[in-house]
Amino acid sequence: MFVKPLRIVIPSHKRHDRVFAKYLVTDPIICVAESQKDLYKRFNPDCEIVTHPDDVVGLIPKRNWMARHFGNLFMLDDDVHTCKYLAADYGDCSVIKDREKVTRIIHELYDLAEVLDVHVFGFTNRTTPMMYEENAWLSFSKMITGCSYGVRYKKGVTWWNEDLKLKEDFWISCFAKFKERRILTDLRYSFSQKDTFVNPGGLSAFRNVEEERRSILLIRKHFGECIQMKGGACNNGKGSTKQMVEYNISVKFPF
């Protein structure tokens, strides 16, 4: 059976002039709605543009479409701008600026996922070397971060609930754990994105306190006590955006 090669894909929406992620890797594909194709081509002539129908609205339906279309893909949010090596020695720069090296890191994790027959793989949401545990650099039991992860398409496993508008990284992590009891997370590297609430386009039109709350309740309805509430309001942003996240959650898998 022919196996499709891994493609690094940047899902984007109304950010034709701010696709920061394309500078991190070699030969990325930008995936946009058909009606935005010409604008993205004009601003991103160095990238292949793949389009989906305009009636595929929102990031979660787009992820379902991309998984079916590409088969094997690694997704970088368009506002991702940094890759860090969390196992860097004290005093060394942890930021990886070499596009070929970042691309190689992604492909090596995909190759390992293929060998282990894991269908959801990605990187940690930890942000600094101080959070790195040197004796545990790979995990089958920690969720991936939503801005940088991949799937090897398998019907019934790599599927996102389109009733959600937010928190889809929690959904796919929990769903894959429920279906196959494992996801593959590389804890050595992390990808960072621009401030969630202050970068127009993308999911900014959907992201508000009430939608965060609705998405959390829906995920908890499906996956129960492994979805845990974290304290009170979360400072996710700077200045005037600091109190915009009232609810925050974490995952603790029982297996």
CATH number of the domain that 164 lies in? 3.90.550.10
- Domain count within the chain: 1
Residue with tokens 């691309």: 103
The SS3 assignment for 73 reads strand
Q: What is the DSSP letter of 214?
A: H
The predicted structure's pLDDT at residue 145: 92
CA–CA gap between residue 165 and residue 209 (Å, rounded): 12
Query: With a threshold of 0.95, does the pTM exceed it?
Result: no
Q: Which helix (H) or strand (E) holds 7?
A: strand 7-11
Digitized pLDDT (tens) for each residue of the chain, 255 residues in all: 456 799 999 999 999 999 999 999 999 999 999 999 999 999 999 999 999 999 999 999 999 999 999 999 999 999 999 999 998 888 888 999 999 999 999 999 999 999 999 999 999 988 887 778 878 899 999 999 999 999 999 999 999 999 999 999 999 999 999 999 999 999 999 999 986 544 555 455 556 788 888 999 999 999 998 999 875 545 444 444 344 456 678 998 887
The predicted structure's pLDDT at residue 210: 85
Q: How far is CA 138 from CA 67, 135, 143, 181, 189, in A?
A: 24, 9, 11, 15, 10
- Residue 162 sits at φ, ψ, to 5 deg, of -80, 0
- Is 253 within the bounds of a domain? no
- Is 209 within the bounds of a domain? no
- Is 99 within the bounds of a domain? yes
The predicted structure's pLDDT at residue 128: 81
- Is 243 within the bounds of a domain? no
Q: How many C-beta neighbours within 10 Å does residue 79 have?
A: 23
Burial of 92 (0-12, 13-18, 19+ CB in 10 A): exposed
Q: Which residues of 164-192 are buried (b: 16+ CB within 10 A; e: fewer)?
A: bbbbbbbbbbbbbbeeeebbbbbbbbbbb
Planar angle of CA 14, 19, 24, nearest 5 degrees: 160
In contact, 183 and 121? CB cutoff 8 Å: yes
Rg (CA), the chain: 17
The two three-digit tokens of residue 168, written as one number:
């889809």
In contact, 62 and 11? CB cutoff 8 Å: yes
The predicted structure's pLDDT at residue 3: 63
In contact, 173 and 131? CB cutoff 8 Å: no
The predicted structure's pLDDT at residue 238: 44
Q: Which domain holds residue 36?
A: 7-193
The two three-digit tokens of residue 163, written as one number:
């009733």
Residue with tokens 């339906």: 61
- Is 198 within the bounds of a domain? no
